[in-house]
Amino acid sequence: MDVIDTIKEQLSGNDVLLYMKGTPQAPQCGFSARTVQSLMACGERFAFVNILEHPELREKLKEYSNWPTYPQLYIKGELVGGCDIIGELYESGELQKMVKDAVGASA
C-alpha cells in the first residue's frame, strides 16, 4: 500500500482525525498542543497520527491536503484546518458542533 492509500484509509476509518507532532498526551509543538486542547475540550474521542514517527506520510500529506503545516484536523475526511483555524472554530462554538455531529453520525 502506498502512502496516499494509507492516508485515504486513515481518513475514511476515523470521523475525527488529527495529524500532529507528538501525541495528545505529549504534543511535540505548541501548535499541536493548542489544537489538542481545543479538541479535547469538545468532549469527544478523536484519532491521531504522530507525523514525527512517519516522515514519508508527513511529506505526502502536505501534497495530498495542499496544506503546508501541521497540525491538520480532518472531520469526515475533509480538511478543517490547522491550529489557528481550529482555535477560531472552538472560540465560536463551531468546532464543538462539528465534532459532535461527526461522532454522532457514526454512532
Query: CB burial class (10 A; 0-12, 13-18, 19+) of residue 89?
Result: buried
User: HSE of 4 in the Cβ direction (CA atoms, 13 Å)?
Assistant: 3
From first to last of its 107 residues, what are the pLDDT tens digits of the chain?
A: 799 999 999 999 999 999 999 999 999 999 999 999 999 999 999 999 999 999 999 999 999 999 999 999 999 999 999 999 999 999 999 999 999 999 986 65
Architecture in CATH for domain 3-106: 3-Layer(aba) Sandwich (3.40)
Q: Is 83 annotated as a binding residue?
A: no
User: Considering the entire predicted model, what is its pTM?
Assistant: 0.94
